[in-house]
Amino acid sequence: MDKRKFLRTACLAALGLAGGARGAAASLLPPDPVFGRSFADLQGRDQALSAYVGRPVLMNFWASWCAPCVREMPLLETLHQRHPDLALLGLAIDTRANVERFLEKIPVSYPVLLTGTQGIPLMRELGNKSGGLPFTLLFDHRGRVADSIMGELKPDDIQARLSRIL
């Protein structure tokens, strides 16, 4: 191989434009900035979202006063039980007292974190321009958004979407 061809191939590979190097370059991209945040759990301890990078994540924004959110909670619990490799997080745009009362009636085994009013601008940053609930994001194991769902989850649809990141 002459020097020019070698240098051109090396430059394209470095830019991620040469064949198989595209995937390698993409793997160097950082996780979504949301993983730089932390939120309190129900015990009041801050939980860093960065702890979840390295595995697929389903991040569900919800509130106790949101009827579609309430309806999809049993489905989320089923997904959590069925997919142990999936980190499922409930991000409550609500108060601790409301969430605790709600979880007494409809308990879940996945982590629930409290975003309070910070959750609304965060959802907008993540693509939910209307700020509506429920809002679900799927992240790949590298912490990059793989999919988003506005509105109530449907069992067959979410299962198909999850199959792409699991």
**CB atoms inside a 10 Å sphere around CB 107:** 9
**Whole-number Å distance between alpha carbons of 85 and 75:** 17
Contact 35, 47 (CB under 8 A): no
Domain range summary for the chain, segments of one domain joined by +: 1-30, 33-163
Q: Residue 32 above 70 pLDDT?
A: yes
Cβ–Cβ under 8 Å, residues 131 and 124: yes
Which ranges of 20-91 would DSSP assign to H, the alpha helix?
21-26, 67-82
Residue with tokens 């932390």: 38
CA-atom Rg of the chain in angstroms: 19
User: In the predicted model, is pLDDT for residue 7 greater than 60?
Assistant: no
Q: What are phi and psi of 35, to 5 degrees?
A: -75, 0
CATH number belonging to the domain at 33-163, selected among 3.40.30.10, 3.40.640.10, 3.10.20.30, 1.10.760.10: 3.40.30.10
Q: Compute the distance between CA of residue 83 and CA of residue 26 in angstroms, rounded to an integer.
A: 26
Residue 13 has pLDDT above 60, yes or no: no
Distance CA(67)–CA(46), nearest Å, equals 28
* Chain centre distance of CA 82: 17
- Express each pLDDT in 73-115 by its tens digit: 999 999 999 999 999 999 999 999 999 999 999 999 999 999 9
Confidence of residue 30 (pLDDT cuts 50, 70, 90): confident
> Hey, CA dihedral for 131, 37, 88, 86, is it positive or negative?
positive
pLDDT at 3: 53
User: 0.75 exceeded by the pTM?
Assistant: yes
DSSP 86-113: SEEEEEE-S-HHHHHHHHHHS--SS-EE
Of residues 6 and 92, the one with the higher pLDDT is 92
Q: Residue 128 burial (CB < 10 Å; 0-12/13-18/19+)?
A: buried
